[in-house]
Each structure stands twice: as C-alpha cells, then as structure tokens.
Chains A and B, each alone.
Chain A
Amino acid sequence: MNLGYMLSGGAPVIKKYKVGATVSNVGVPLLDTSTATAGVRVATVTSLANAIGVSQDTATYTTTQSATMVEGVISCIINPDAVWRAKLSGGAAEGTQLLVTTNSAASAGGTVITITTGDADPSSPTMLDGQAYGLAGNNVALTRTITAVAATTATVVVPFPRAVAVSDTYLLIPFVGASFPAGGVASCVLTTNLYEVRANSDNTGDAAINVVDVEIQTGDPRGRSFLHMLLRDHVLNIST
C-alpha cells in the first residue's frame, strides 16, 4: 500500500525504528513493539491492531553477534491520519482481478442483483454496507450502496437509474466511502504479501481500518480499483 494523502494536510513524519522481525517487503503495514520484542513487527493479513505505520524500506532482523553486524532498522511513516491507498484484489494473491457477478434475474426497479450459479455468495463473505458497481449492461460505471444481502442476492436501496437486466455484470465490493458497518467498526483482510486489500472478504471483524473512499478507475475497474483507508487502531491515536 502506498501513501495517498494526509487527512489533515500535513507532511508525512518519517521515523526509523528497530525491528523485532525481518521486514522483507516495502509498503507493508507495521505493528507496534510488543512486550519483550526488539522492535516493530509486520502486520498480519487479518490484524492491524496497534499499527504504527507502513514500511518504506526493508530490514533484516538478527540476534547473531558479529563485529560487522547491522542492526535492523525500518523507515516508517507514522502519521495516524495518513490515508493509505491500497489496491483491491479479488483474492489472497496480489493482483487478482476483482470477481464479477452476473445478474441472472431481471429487476425492473433496479434494486436487486441476483447472482448466477458459480458467482460469489454476496452474504458470505458479506457485501453488506459495500457497493455494487456496474461493469456492463444498463448501469455501467454507476455505483450504489448495498443495504441487504442474501445467499443469492444483493439489494440496493437507492435504485440504479435503469433496470438491472439479465446478464448485466457488476462488481460487489465490501467497502464504500464513509461506511462504518456493524456499529462503526470497519475492517479488511489483506492479501498474503500485505500489499493489497482483498475485495472478496467481508468488512467486519478483521484488520481495523476506516474507509475514507473507494477509487474505482473506470478504464479497468477489475484491475485498478483502490481503497483509501486509515489505520484505525493506530498506536499514536489519541485514544487507541
């Protein structure tokens, strides 16, 4: 993930911290130093608890004494109000295209998208409080917030301007700007290498974030959509 901007408009603060585990990748979230460890650690795909920022280089952790040893130090942007721009992935692997849902039942009112057999279940992982984006058909490049889901349907309360026709395709994304599902607690699941955010996972109960915006690039919405997010459980927040 990459620095998008600062919510307050300030400059990014760079700190170099000792590491308690090897950080092999650039642009991955880091966690606070836990008890009895030598320094900051890499986040996990489902936890951003006590986050400290995002790595800007790499570092090797070692406990082997040597006259020429180099202590592992990682550069990190520590602003708690930093908005991170993470690409959305359709799977656990980085760069996976977002999953397509093909509508199988017409909705003249433009409010119900019914999946085709084989498409992802909108209710598991839940797309509730996410958004539907029109890929092809009557409502191309239009989005609506999903307000109800079932095993085969995703329902929007504000209708699309035109009917949802059979064979129209949509992206179902579990995030929408300023959406705070389940009582104000948004979350995400990161890809295995922690670079991107999975769009085929639900938005509650995992890595704590706040969704600022969802950037869907109309030229390649399946391959170049981004989540703008804050690290909600940041250790330098006034209240964590």
Chain B
Amino acid sequence: MLTIHAPTPDTPAKVRRASEDPGRPANRLRGGWLDDLTSLKKFVSMCPLCVGKFNPQRYGYELWRSIYTIATCDLCKVFDTRCKSYIPQSHHDQIGDARRRGRWASRARL
C-alpha cells in the first residue's frame, strides 16, 4: 500500500525530540545500564514501578527533590509523569534541594 507522508514544518519541539537520547539499548540489561549511569554520576530518573529496585545510598545517590518529575524511566524506558529522580550526593550543592539536610531541614535554608 502506498503511504503519502505530508511534510510538516520543523518546530523547536520537533528538533528537540530528534536530538533526544534513546536511553538504554535493547541489548543491555537494566542493572548493568544503571551501574554505567551511576558510575558516570548521571541524573537518574525512575518510574513508580522501578523506583523500589534502586538503593540510592548504595550508589552514593540521594533523592533530588521530594517532588515528582516528568521523565523517561532510565530502567524500563517508560515515559511517566510520576518519576522520582536521584542525583549523586556530590552534586547536592549545585542542584540539590536548597534546604539544609538532616535535623535542620525544616528550619533554615542555605
């Protein structure tokens, strides 16, 4: 069957989608892929079904913010509006929660 593709104009959003990273290759196991991401100190996002499989402290990671993020899960590659994201603890000062950690968390802001 002949299919006619009508060209549509390039919009900034379409250009962005074209340059988006496809994520975990099909021939990579999830655990090994996660090991690679964490060893490169990457920002990691996980959907509600995968988040329980990740122990952030084991990898030196922490929860980025106590809010949901809209992202593609780095393990199962599903696009989800209720992801949790994690950052290496060494990135906390640059992009982590502005509030202080630990017992002072609710008392003052940095």
Chain B residue numbers with a CB within 8 Å of A12 are 67, 69-70
A195 touches which of B42, B83, B94, B96 (Cβ 8 Å) = B94
Range class of the A interface residue count: 35 or more
Query: Cβ of B94 and Cβ of A33 under 8 Å apart?
Result: no
B interface secondary structure, majority: mixed
CA gap between A209 and B19 in the complex, in Å? 25
Range class of the B interface residue count: 20 to 34
Query: Cβ of B19 and Cβ of A39 under 8 Å apart?
Result: yes
Interface residues of B in 15-57 (CB under 8 A from A): 15-16, 19-21, 23, 40-43, 45
Query: Cβ of A2 and Cβ of B19 under 8 Å apart?
Result: no
Query: Cβ of B94 and Cβ of A14 under 8 Å apart?
Result: no
A105 interfacial by beta-carbon distance below 8 Å: no
Query: Cβ of A11 and Cβ of B98 under 8 Å apart?
Result: no
Query: Cβ of A240 and Cβ of B87 under 8 Å apart?
Result: no
Which residue on B lies nearest to A54, using beta carbons? B95
CA gap between A123 and B23 in the complex, in Å? 50
CA gap between A224 and B87 in the complex, in Å? 24
A interface secondary structure, majority: loop
B91 interfacial by beta-carbon distance below 8 Å: yes
Chain B residue numbers with a CB within 8 Å of A224 are 110
Query: Cβ of B16 and Cβ of A52 under 8 Å apart?
Result: yes
Query: Cβ of B16 and Cβ of A235 under 8 Å apart?
Result: yes
CA gap between A13 and B95 in the complex, in Å? 15
Chain A residue numbers with a CB within 8 Å of B16 are 15, 17, 32, 52, 78, 235-236
B19 touches which of A11, A17, A27, A75 (Cβ 8 Å) = A17
Taking Cβ atoms with an 8 Å cutoff, the residues of B that contact A are: 12-13, 15-16, 19-21, 23, 40-43, 45, 64-65, 67-72, 81, 83, 85, 87, 91, 94-96, 98, 109-110
Further 18 A-B residue pairs, CB within 8 A, beyond A11-B67, A11-B68? A2-B95, A10-B70, A11-B70, A14-B69, A14-B71, A14-B85, A15-B71, A16-B72, A17-B16, A26-B94, A27-B95, A32-B16, A56-B87, A56-B91, A71-B21, A75-B43, A85-B98, A235-B12
Query: What are 19 of the A-B contact pairs (CB < 8 Å)?
Result: A2-B96, A2-B98, A3-B95, A11-B70, A11-B81, A14-B70, A14-B71, A14-B83, A27-B91, A27-B94, A27-B95, A57-B42, A70-B40, A73-B21, A75-B43, A195-B94, A224-B110, A235-B12, A236-B13
